[in-house]
């Protein structure tokens, strides 16, 4: 077992009792304070330990601050008798101002760093673990020199705010779920350390105002900003307004900020009032705005138009008409999004379709009336391409083909040989067959019959006999969208008929009517005495039904006990559901495999050279504790070195080629916000 520092130092200074060598580790770990100190010391490199070991007074001081040192001590690094501060030599003056100690005097600097419950150490550790661009943002290097010290101290005040909720000495490894450290690690910045996207305080002051209020409202044109509002947001300003309020309010603010940075990015600045209105649309209609982001319709004007349309739907007086109109709109949007994902629709084409859809008039008394049905027949269906010849339901077949990606321009269908058999690999054709089989299992009316019932007054047929035509259209559209996400046509989800008809717009089991905030939330599965169903928006349906995208490869034997945890299994299923097969290529697959091979070769060739170990650890993203464990293993247990890296770490160690690096994101793991 690695033992940082000489055994005599542990006996004389930290344990303060004589303990035989064979019992030393047990004695250290049996005492809470020394165990925490051991944890902190295990992250330090040899040169830092070489400085700290002889300084018995500093060691005793750190023993009294054991909790803070255990979690933040990893960032203490001494080189040539000087503390290496986050941000490098240019940041030394800033850290000296905050600590009141010169980095050239390590003992005084470290003691000041860990005083008062380690809040300064928390900020120091946070900045130390940011990438260089985010370090510049946190340290305010892009700000006017005269204001940097004041803004850095303001950032320290934000870290101080969590003192009551998190006592680092009693619960060192249980941080607040939303703190300044998380905010700084997530905000997107330029290489100069400036935040990306619309970052005027004038905008965010209005966006964050009453952020717990989820209703949508439009912002009037803004006048000239006041002196304070004219400034861009900085690290302290953002962190205070996101980590300072209640968790729910802070989470909404953080999600809104990250959404704004993703969709607006480095685009030319739009009208501030339009941006604020679009971001309020995200607060009120998150599932809709995320759907707009996924299809690429991310101009402020497009987002505002979509939000206005959703607000119009919310304002329908009749509960029945409001629910039917919202379901029709969400199902149609989901179908369009699926068609765009399959490659049938270009970004420009899908933007035009969404603009046309969100321009449909909505009345407060009757909702869409027949307007949506007319639009589907005369506008949407012709844009999706020609249906299969002689199809009995041409409109439905056109939608199914578009969702499957059937008919898009492709290279020749690849042919592979497996166990002596030759196979044509045509995923769109297979998906279209699956969708048709699911629709057969669902039963009910076809889209063509539902449209005819609404527009032409024709009988709905056996599947919709006796139903209100608009109710029939709603059920059919919802079923069409569900068909894309129900997986195997012979699976359990279709054993009990059309589960799409169980969908509810509320996300809370037991409510009889949908709350406005639920209608536009990402959906989730519900289990109750009434059975299984999905509640919430229809947009993002795969986030609730991701597990149905998985199919057991061998059903002839009893499955083995699960090897993945519930969280790992859910992440895998969600990733499979959200991954776009049209976006992943053989070239990027081969680059991933090649990078892993290069990384494994690099790890195999590693020798006990301190500089090389540090380079390897940085490239693979190893923590300080794992870096030191790796250095120890190279000397004491070299046969285990390669096994100490995960597949992902070997990939980063193999340094993927810059030319394809951005394209590798399509293979990434899916994540959802925890609320």
Residue pLDDT, tens place only, 40-73: 999 999 999 999 999 999 999 999 999 999 999 9
Picking from 112, 109, 119, 108, the residue whose alpha carbon sits closest to that of residue 84 is: 109
Contacts of 310 (CB under 8 A, 6+ apart): 216, 281, 284, 285, 288, 329, 520
Burial of 389 from C-beta contacts in 10 A (0-12 / 13-18 / 19+): exposed
- With tokens 């649309």, the residue in question is 281
**Residues forming beta bridges with residue 200, ordered by sequence position:** 232
Q: Are 404 and 342 in contact (CB under 8 A)?
A: yes
Alpha carbon of residue 591 to chain centroid: 24
Query: Per residue in 87-99, pLDDT tens?
Result: 999 999 999 999 9
- Spatial separation of the C-alpha atoms in residues 202 and 541, rounded to whole Å: 35
Contacts of 619 (CB under 8 A, 6+ apart): 652, 653, 655
- Spatial separation of the C-alpha atoms in residues 652 and 485, rounded to whole Å: 33
pLDDT higher at 568 or 629: 629
The count of other CB atoms within 10 Å of the CB of residue 22 is 7
- Spatial separation of the C-alpha atoms in residues 312 and 154, rounded to whole Å: 42
What's the pLDDT score for residue 589? Answer: 92
- Spatial separation of the C-alpha atoms in residues 624 and 641, rounded to whole Å: 16
Question: What's the whole-number mean pLDDT along residues 345-367?
Answer: 94
What's the pLDDT score for residue 422? Answer: 92
- Spatial separation of the C-alpha atoms in residues 34 and 15, rounded to whole Å: 7
Which pair of structure tokens corresponds to residue 278? 């679009």
- Spatial separation of the C-alpha atoms in residues 103 and 427, rounded to whole Å: 61
The count of other CB atoms within 10 Å of the CB of residue 284 is 21
> How distant, in Å, are the alpha carbons of 125, 567, 624 from that of 128?
5, 29, 12
Given pLDDT bands bounded at 50, 70 and 90, which one contains residue 507?
A: low
Query: Per residue in 214-241, pLDDT tens?
Result: 778 888 787 555 655 667 899 999 999 9
Query: Per residue in 127-154, pLDDT tens?
Result: 999 999 999 999 999 998 888 999 999 9
Query: Per residue in 318-344, pLDDT tens?
Result: 999 999 999 999 999 999 999 999 888
Would you state the torsion angle of the CA atoms of residues 634, 639, 640, 642, taken in this order, to the nearest 10 degrees?
Answer: 90
> How distant, in Å, are the alpha carbons of 42, 45, 441, 621, 663 from that of 39?
5, 13, 58, 19, 39
Contacts of 638 (CB under 8 A, 6+ apart): none
Measured over the CA atoms of residue 178, residue 181, residue 184 and residue 186, the dihedral's sign is: negative
What's the pLDDT score for residue 365? Answer: 92
What's the pLDDT score for residue 546? Answer: 86
Residue 390 has pLDDT above 60, yes or no: no
- With tokens 């919802």, the residue in question is 478
Share the mean pLDDT of the chain. Answer: 89
Given pLDDT bands bounded at 50, 70 and 90, which one contains residue 460?
A: low
Question: What's the whole-number mean pLDDT along residues 254-264?
Answer: 94
Query: Per residue in 299-325, pLDDT tens?
Result: 999 999 999 999 999 999 999 999 999
Given pLDDT bands bounded at 50, 70 and 90, which one contains residue 662?
A: confident
Picking from 621, 610, 611, the residue whose alpha carbon sits closest to that of residue 654 is: 621
∠ Cα 373 375 376 (to 5°): 65
End-to-end CA distance of the chain: 40
Strand pairing report for 82-83 and 415-418? unpaired
Task: Reduce the DSSP state of residue 417 to 3 states and report it.
Answer: strand
What's the pLDDT score for residue 210? Answer: 63
What are φ and ψ of residue 45, in 5° steps?
Answer: -80, 170
Give the DSSP H/E element, type plus range, for residue 9: helix 7-9
What's the pLDDT score for residue 513? Answer: 47
Residue 408 has pLDDT above 80, yes or no: no
Q: Are 666 and 580 in contact (CB under 8 A)?
A: yes
Is this structure's pTM higher than 0.85? yes
Q: What share of the chain is helix, strand, coil (3-state, %, to 5)?
A: 60, 5, 35
What's the pLDDT score for residue 225? Answer: 57
């Amino acid at each position: 077992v690695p033992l940082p520092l000489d055994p005599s130092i542990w006996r004389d200074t930290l344990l303060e009792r004589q303990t035989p060598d064979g019992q030393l580790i047990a004695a250290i770990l049996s005492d809470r304070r020394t165990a925490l100190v051991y944890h902190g010391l295990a992250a330090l490199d040899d040169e830092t330990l070489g400085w700290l070991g002889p300084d018995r007074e500093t060691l005793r001081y750190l023993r009294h601050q054991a909790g803070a040192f255990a979690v933040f001590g990893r960032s203490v690094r001494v080189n040539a008798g000087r503390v290496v501060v986050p941000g490098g030599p240019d940041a030394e003056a800033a850290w000296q101002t905050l600590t009141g100690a010169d980095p050239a005097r390590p003992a005084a600097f470290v003691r000041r760093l860990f005083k008062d419950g380690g809040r300064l150490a928390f900020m120091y550790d946070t900045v130390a673990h940011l990438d260089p661009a985010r370090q510049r943002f946190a340290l305010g290097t892009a700000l006017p020199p005269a204001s940097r010290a004041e803004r850095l101290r303001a950032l320290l005040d934000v870290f101080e705010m969590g003192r009551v909720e998190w006592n680092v000495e009693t619960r060192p490894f249980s941080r607040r779920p939303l703190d300044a450290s998380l905010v700084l690690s997530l905000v997107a910045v330029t290489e100069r350390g400036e935040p990306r996207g619309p970052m005027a305080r004038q905008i965010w002051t209005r966006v964050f105002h009453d952020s717990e209020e989820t209703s949508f409202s439009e912002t009037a044109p803004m006048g000239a900003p006041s002196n304070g509002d004219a400034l861009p947001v900085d690290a302290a300003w953002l962190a205070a307004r996101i980590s300072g309020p209640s968790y729910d309010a802070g989470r909404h603010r953080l999600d809104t900020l990250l959404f704004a940075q993703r969709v607006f990015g480095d685009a030319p600045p739009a009208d501030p009032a339009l941006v604020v209105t679009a971001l309020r649309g995200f607060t009120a209609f998150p599932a809709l705005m995320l759907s707009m982001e996924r299809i690429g319709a991310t101009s402020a004007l497009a987002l505002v138009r979509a939000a206005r349309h959703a607000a119009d739907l919310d304002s329908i007086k009749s509960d029945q008409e409001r629910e039917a109109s919202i379901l029709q709109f969400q199902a149609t949007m989901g179908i369009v999004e699926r068609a765009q994902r399959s490659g049938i629709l270009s970004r420009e084409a899908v933007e035009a379709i969404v603009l046309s859809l969100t321009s449909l008039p909505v009345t407060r008394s009757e909702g869409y009336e027949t307007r949506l049905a007319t639009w589907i027949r005369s506008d949407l269906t012709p844009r999706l391409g020609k249906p299969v010849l002689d199809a009995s339901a041409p409109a439905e077949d056109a939608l199914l083909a578009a969702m499957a990606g059937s008919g898009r321009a492709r290279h020749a269908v690849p042919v592979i040989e497996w166990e002596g058999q030759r196979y044509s690999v045509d995923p769109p054709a297979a998906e279209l067959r699956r969708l048709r089989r699911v629709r057969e299992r669902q039963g009910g009316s076809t889209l063509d019959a539902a449209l005819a019932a609404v527009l032409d007054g024709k009988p709905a047929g056996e599947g919709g006999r006796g139903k209100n035509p608009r109710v029939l259209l709603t059920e059919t559209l919802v079923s069409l969208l569900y068909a894309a996400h129900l997986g195997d046509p012979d699976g359990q989800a279709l054993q009990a008929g059309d589960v799409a008809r169980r969908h509810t717009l509320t996300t809370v089991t037991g409510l009889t009517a949908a709350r406005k905030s639920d209608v536009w939330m990402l959906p989730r599965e519900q289990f109750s005495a009434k059975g299984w169903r999905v509640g919430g928006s229809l947009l993002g349906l795969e986030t609730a039904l991701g597990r149905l995208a998985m199919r057991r490869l061998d059903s002839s034997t009893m499955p083995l006990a699960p090897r993945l945890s519930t969280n790992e299994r859910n992440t895998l299923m969600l990733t499979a559901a959200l991954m776009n097969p049209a976006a992943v290529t053989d070239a990027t697959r081969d680059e991933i495999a090649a990078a892993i091979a290069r990384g494994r070769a690099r790890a195999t060739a590693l020798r006990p050279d301190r500089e090389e170990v540090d380079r390897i650890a940085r490239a693979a993203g190893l923590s300080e504790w794992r870096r030191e464990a790796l250095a120890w293993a190279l000397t004491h247990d070299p046969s285990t070195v390669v096994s100490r890296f995960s597949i992902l770490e070997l990939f980063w160690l193999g340094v993927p080629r810059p030319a394809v690096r951005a394209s590798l994101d399509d293979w990434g793991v899916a994540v959802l916000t925890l609320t």
